[in-house]
Amino acid sequence: MNPRPPVPGDAAPSHTGPSTGPSPAGGRRRPSSGSVLRCGLAVLPFIGMLVLIPFVNRVEPYVLDLPFLLFWIVVWVVLTSACMTVVYLTDPANKAGGQA
Amino acid sequence: MNAALPVLIFFFAGAIGLGLYSRRGKDMDLEQWSVGGRGFGSIFVFLLLAGEIYTTFTFLGASGYAYSNGGASFYILCYGALAYVFSYWLAPAIWRYASKEKLVSQPDWFERKYKSRNLALVVTLIGVIAMIPYLQLQLTGLGIIIEETSYGTIPRNVAILLGGIALATYVVISGIHSAAWNAVVKDILVLIVVVMIGIYLPIHYFGSIGGMFSHIQAQQPDFLRLHEPSHDTGWFVTSILLSALGFFMWPHYFGAVYSSKDAKTFRRNAMFLPLYQLVLLFVFFVGLTAYLVVPGLTNGDLSLLRVSRDALPSALVGLIGAAGLFCALVPGAMLLTTSATMLAKNVYKEVFPQASSARVGLVARTMVPVVTAIALYLTFKGGAAIVNLLLLGYAFVTQLFPSMVMSLLERNPVNKWGAGAGMVVGAVIVAILTLGKYSTGSVLPFLPESLHHLNVGVLALIANIVVCAVVSLATRHQTATASPEPEAVSIG
């Protein structure tokens, strides 16, 4: 369940795991190309759903019967899921035994 | 004549029965009662976390917001998806430390990380204050559901009271176990009901979903995009951001994370939960249909049930009400369990440190009716629209975000003074701005027009980060813990 022993002499308790990755609280390990990729994928949805909103705030054209703004958001929700699937599949933390 | 109410009562009895059944063979100590003995597998954790998506807020609030504000309501679809991106990294980090340290509540986290009981007390207060509007929201929803499905026979206030009593009873008995089991029923029921009426109602009235949209466009051009000055793109983007950050800061979300068996669960869920959000699309369809069919409601939260009543037989209305009922009970149970645990463990136990754990468990259960009563009182005093209650809660709870994220760093430049000062300043600003109904533009008139409707929670968050950085710097010599890099990193 919790195989990792507490780090001795750890004055400021912290999470110690190999999978910190590019979280907002990202560890200070040297980034591998894989973690750069995952970081980029995680940022994409934020660009789609925050940065680009002012440019897609319109009703027309309708796509798949949806007003354009709503269509745009739906597409990005699906893409978020796709991005996170790639992140999951390429993250070494999820390999067999990567339980941390 | 009215088949809706019997259907509703049947499901209600079922929910209580399931809550009782779920506690069988469990020795209900505090850890079992509040975090399920940390033994919940993927599916339960998935559903508990998804419980956040399908609440009364989604069911009645999202349709109501679409009814009243059109395109602005689409923000609800965005923030959950973005929150799960954070969760991929954040939730495993929280879980790992929490299970190592055997944490039960969110304030435990701050107490352990910042080595300060007073900070834990501040976190407890902010958390409980934020959860009360959220609980009010569930109770308001329960009241609306019972009132509407009884076709007005049971008045709203009686309905709210009944719902509150029932909720408190079943939480006292089985704690988070009741939420977990009912979450399974809830999600199946909501999925069926929402998809069904979301597709049926537009077709019934307008031939197709596209037909419904073109009717709206003909009647009020621009309704389907961000069109009101008070809900412009600045409001939209900041509300999404604030809600996505606040998502994890809910004390009951911490509880759901703690209840997991392993960390991989969260990463796996991060792939699927964004898609789960799409069910909201059908909720929007219902709200927008109602906009055309039952115009003029002062309370948009009624729109989903009102339009369903007009179009569907009463037995089906009862089923819709039952789905809404579960939507209120499951998150309501989580909110009550969590706030009661926090008050018992982080307030009562601090004041009476020699109290036995059985006694703390008893106090936790006693707190359930107390918190319920407070929420009921505030609901009767004056109910706001469901979405506004939620935005208030989110703005509050987001104030925990900066010091929470910083505490994940190996060398945290923020100390307990900075963390506490930042939180308090942020929370006070939120309270003043929200209760006084100030907008960003009225507080900071020198900002460009396009920034005048930013969510005021963002102002509070910025103030929070600044105060947190300054105070941490100013007090860096007072703390003995080694922090060689005191420069404050602001995260946004």
Instruction: Tell the residue number behind the tokens 């509007």, with chain if given.
Output: B133
Closest chain A residue by Cα to residue B111: A13
What CA–CA distance (Å, rounded) separates A73 from B224? Answer: 13
Is the bond preceding residue B229 a cis peptide, omega within 30 degrees? no
Number of residues assigned to chain A: 100
Residue B186 DSSP class? H
pLDDT band at A7 (very low <50, low <70, confident <90, very high): very low
Residues of B in contact with A5 (CB under 8 A): none
Radius of gyration of chain B (CA): 22
User: Which of these, B51, B144, B104, lies nearest to B331 by C-alpha position?
Assistant: B51
Residues of B in contact with A20 (CB under 8 A): 89, 93
Instruction: Look at residue A9 and tell me whether its pLDDT is greater than 60.
Output: no
Phi-psi region of B294 (alpha: psi -120 to 50; beta: other; left: phi over 0): beta
Note whether B270 contacts A25, CB cutoff 8 Å. no
Closest chain B residue by Cα to residue A51: B237
Task: Specify the pLDDT at position B274.
Answer: 86
User: Which of these, B394, B467, B98, lies nearest to B262 by C-alpha position?
Assistant: B98
Of the partner residues B209, B222, B261, the one whose CB lies closest to the CB of residue A59 = B222
Distances in Å between the Cα of B168 and the Cα atoms of B131, B303, B305 are 15, 27, 25
Specify burial of residue B473 (Cβ count, 10 A radius: 0-12, 13-18, 19+): middle
Task: Specify the pLDDT at position B38.
Answer: 59
3-state helix, strand, coil in chain B (%, to 5): 80, 0, 20
Of the partner residues B210, B241, B271, the one whose CB lies closest to the CB of residue A85 = B271
Residues of B in contact with A37 (CB under 8 A): none
ipTM metric? 0.79
Residues of A in contact with B213 (CB under 8 A): 62, 65-67
Of the partner residues B82, B86, B410, the one whose CB lies closest to the CB of residue A28 = B410
What CA–CA distance (Å, rounded) separates B179 from B395? Answer: 25
- Quick one: angle between helices B251-258 and B42-50, nearest 10? 170
Distances in Å between the Cα of B477 and the Cα atoms of B111, B417, B421, B422, B482 are 20, 12, 17, 18, 10
Q: How many CB pairs under 8 A join A and B?
A: 171
What CA–CA distance (Å, rounded) separates B224 from A57? Answer: 9
What CA–CA distance (Å, rounded) separates B100 from B93? Answer: 11
Q: What are the backbone dihedrals phi and psi of residue B260, each rounded to the nearest 5 degrees, phi first?
A: -75, 155
Note whether A84 contacts B222, CB cutoff 8 Å. no
Give CA B425 to chain center in angstroms.
22
pLDDT by 10s per residue, chain B, length 492? 477 778 888 888 887 777 777 666 555 566 666 655 555 655 666 666 665 566 777 788 888 888 888 888 888 889 888 988 988 888 888 888 888 888 877 888 888 888 888 888 888 888 888 888 888 888 888 888 888 887 878 888 888 888 888 888 877 776 666 667 777 788 888 888 889 999 998 898 888 888 888 888 888 888 888 877 777 888 888 888 888 888 878 887 777 787 777 788 888 888 888 888 888 899 999 999 998 888 888 788 888 888 888 888 888 888 888 888 888 887 888 888 888 888 888 888 888 888 787 888 888 888 888 889 888 888 887 656 666 677 778 878 888 888 888 888 878 888 888 888 888 998 888 888 877 777 777 777 777 777 778 888 888 889 899 998 888 888 877 654 444 444 444 433
Task: Specify the pLDDT at position B385.
Answer: 61
Non-local (6+) Cβ contacts of B284 within 8 A are: A70, B62, B63, B66, B73, B74, B77, B198
End-to-end CA distance of chain A: 9
Number of other residues whose CB lies within 10 A of the CB of residue B406:
27
For chain B, give every domain's residue range.
4-390
The C-alpha of B264 sits at a distance from chain A's nearest C-alpha, in angstroms, of: 7
Instruction: Tell the residue number behind the tokens 């396009």, with chain if given.
Output: B450
Q: A63 - beta bridge partners?
A: A66
What CA–CA distance (Å, rounded) separates B45 from B60? Answer: 24
What CA–CA distance (Å, rounded) separates B78 from A8? Answer: 42
Instruction: Look at residue A53 and tell me whether its pLDDT is greater than 50.
Output: yes
Task: Specify the pLDDT at position B49.
Answer: 66
What CA–CA distance (Å, rounded) separates A99 from B174? Answer: 31
Output b/e per residue, B211-230; b: 16+ Cβ within 10 A.
Answer: ebbebbbeeeeebbbbbeee
Task: Specify the pLDDT at position B59.
Answer: 80
What CA–CA distance (Å, rounded) separates A29 from A38? Answer: 15
Distances in Å between the Cα of B289 and the Cα atoms of B198, B205, B307 are 9, 8, 8
Which tokens go with B321? 């009400």
Instruction: Look at residue A20 and tell me whether its pLDDT is greater than 50.
Output: no
Which tokens go with A70? 């709503």
Note whether A67 contacts B92, CB cutoff 8 Å. no
The C-alpha of B461 sits at a distance from chain A's nearest C-alpha, in angstroms, of: 16
Closest chain B residue by Cα to residue A7: B100
Give CA B187 to chain center in angstroms.
16
Torsion, CA B211, CA A76, CA B180, CA B150, rounded to 10: -20
Instruction: Tell the residue number behind the tokens 């996505």, with chain if given.
Output: B244
CATH no. of B4-390? 1.20.1730.10
- Give kind and range of the element (H or E) at residue B56: helix B56-56
Residue B72 DSSP class? G
